A and B are shown apart, each in its own frame.
Chain A
Amino acid sequence: MINLKNVSKTFGKQHALDNISLQFPKNKTSVIVGPSGSGKSTLLRSLNLLETPETGEYDFNDESIDFSKKLSSKTILNIRRKTSMVFQSFNLFPHLTVLKNVMEGQVQVLNKSKEEAKEIAEQLLDKVGMLDKADAYPSQLSGGQAQRVAIARSLAMHPEYILLDEPTSALDPEIELEVLKVLLDLAKEKQSLVIVTHNLTFAQRVADKIVFIEDGKVGFDGDTKDFFESDDQRIKDFLAAMTLQNI
């Protein structure tokens, strides 16, 4: 269970995160939505400590981090081993083959033997439908293929949570589907996911809970159904804008 209490972060004068308190339950899919620049990516990146908020508390299971104190590198590595990021621009390692991309973290961070890492990598590549490209380099993949490899790379770390930062925003709609299918499968398997996305159709389908972020504040935190049927004018406007209803 991830539990954030009164977390804030500023970039200059702008409040990227403004006193955010939220929970991301285990074995559930939480989807973060909101307008561009609302702070949803910052929120997600804070969970992996790629961003460090200035104040507030971050509880991960029974460990607690106080952001107002300087974080030790041990704390940071510990959290990163339990959470794994998938990025909008994939960020595969271009100098390594697909197979080695999925092996790298296992060997370098989890200290697995190469044989064991290779076996796990092959299983995961098979799971995301990319085993036939194991020996290809990332530059030889389409966006959808690259993102599926990136998901396998995350899964290989056996993270408690996978954090996905707009995983399909860089993809064509048709290619987007192949990535969304993989994510739906993971959600079905009760893998804990936190997804930032603009795709509301997908959010509605996959989410156990929705978090709506606006101007760095939590505008909604609750059931998926309640979100899409909300009476709140701000949420109604957002949904209308995202589904092109008010053009």
Chain B
Amino acid sequence: MSAWDIIRDATPQLVSACIAYTIPIAIVSFIIGLTIAVITALVKISHRGGLFNIVKAFFYFYVWLFRSTPLLVQLFIVFFGLPYLRIAGILPDGIRLTPVVAGIITFSLNTGAYASETIRGAILSIPDGQWEAAYSLGMTKRKVLWRIILPQASRVSLPPLSNEFIGLVKDTSLAASITIVEMFEVSQQIAAENYQPLIMYILVAAIYAVICSVLTILQSYLEKRVSRYSVSN
């Protein structure tokens, strides 16, 4: 069998695993992660004190925790570890998650922790004058955020967030270790059958590269779209 025959036979299986797991897991995790990130960023920049400080401390702890531990270890804890979190009366059987659910939860929380810092930085980069102008029109803080600050912050954070999404697509390969049959896991299985690890792993790397290249093109298209207003004559 020539290398081309191997590639021709394996590619459809890899692509179908990619469509069934890699891409959906990445997209769903990113959307949830981004939601968590916006909430986390807003809590962190809030000036509210009192009992709200407890909420703030919780979010600081969350970001610290997920940025200070390896993603692979996080996946292991959530999937292999949580079933042993047995609390008499409340959780007699621990927390048992399906591999995909465990993967999405972990990827979402991990993305949320990193992206929250990106979004926080982007919000803080918007000049005070924008807040003041909107406040002086009589807008509530919520409206200032949604109508004036976040639209501008999203433009600022688009390049780093695109980076994070591309990183996430590649990180989904770690899901192979918690028994999800995503693209990298399929490539390992085929390599075990046909004894062609070099070809198989280069092939799967190439498919990741193609996906990420498409995303990079999409990123520059989006950047052009949202930066319409910054072109000067």
Query: Chain A: residues with CB nearer than 8 A to chain B?
Result: 48, 50, 73, 77, 80-81, 83-85, 87, 89, 91-97, 104-105, 108-109, 137-140, 150, 153, 157
Q: Which of B17-25, B128-136, B203-211 contacts A (4 or more CB under 8 A)?
A: B128-136
CA distance A221 to B111 in the complex (A): 59
- B137, B140, B143, B148: the one within 8 Å of A153 (CB): B137
Which chain A residue shows the least CB distance to B146? Answer: A108
Q: A93-B148, A94-B152 are in contact. Are A80 and B231 (CB under 8 A)?
A: no
CB distance from A46 to the nearest CB of B (A): 12
Query: Chain B: residues with CB nearer than 8 A to chain A?
Result: 127, 129-130, 132-140, 143, 147-148, 151-152, 155, 228-233
CA distance A138 to B228 in the complex (A): 11
CA distance A50 to B135 in the complex (A): 8
Which chain A residue shows the least CB distance to B137? Answer: A105
CA distance A20 to B215 in the complex (A): 60
A108 touching B147 by the CB < 8 A rule?
A: yes
- A80, A95, A108, A153: the one within 8 Å of B155 (CB): A95
Q: A77-B140, A80-B138, A93-B148 are in contact. Are A137 and B228 (CB under 8 A)?
A: yes
B133 touching A93 by the CB < 8 A rule?
A: yes
B232 touching A84 by the CB < 8 A rule?
A: no
A92 touching B133 by the CB < 8 A rule?
A: yes
CA distance A108 to B147 in the complex (A): 9
Q: A94-B229, A95-B152, A108-B143 are in contact. Are A80 and B136 (CB under 8 A)?
A: yes
Among A81, A85, A108, find the residue whose CB has the most chain B CB atoms closer than 10 A.
A108
CA distance A155 to B233 in the complex (A): 27
CB distance from A137 to the nearest CB of B (A): 4
Chain A residues whose CB sits within 8 angstroms of the CB of B134 once the complex forms: 93
CB distance from B33 to the nearest CB of A (A): 24
- A85, A95, A137: the one within 8 Å of B136 (CB): A85
Which chain A residue shows the least CB distance to B133? Answer: A91
- B132, B140, B155, B228: the one within 8 Å of A91 (CB): B132
Q: A95-B155, A108-B139 are in contact. Are A139 and B229 (CB under 8 A)?
A: yes
A140 touching B232 by the CB < 8 A rule?
A: yes
B230 touching A48 by the CB < 8 A rule?
A: no
B229 touching A85 by the CB < 8 A rule?
A: no
CA distance A115 to B139 in the complex (A): 20
B132 touching A50 by the CB < 8 A rule?
A: yes
B132 touching A87 by the CB < 8 A rule?
A: yes
B136 touching A84 by the CB < 8 A rule?
A: yes
B137 touching A157 by the CB < 8 A rule?
A: yes
- B136, B147, B233: the one within 8 Å of A140 (CB): B233
Chain B residues whose CB sits within 8 angstroms of the CB of A96 once the complex forms: 229
- B130, B143, B230, B232: the one within 8 Å of A93 (CB): B130
CB distance from B68 to the nearest CB of A (A): 35
Which chain A residue shows the least CB distance to B231? Answer: A139
Name 16 extra pairs, CB < 8 A, besides A50-B135, A91-B129, A93-B133: A77-B138, A83-B136, A84-B137, A91-B130, A91-B132, A93-B134, A94-B230, A96-B229, A97-B229, A108-B143, A109-B137, A109-B139, A137-B229, A139-B230, A140-B231, A140-B233
CB distance from A184 to the nearest CB of B (A): 23
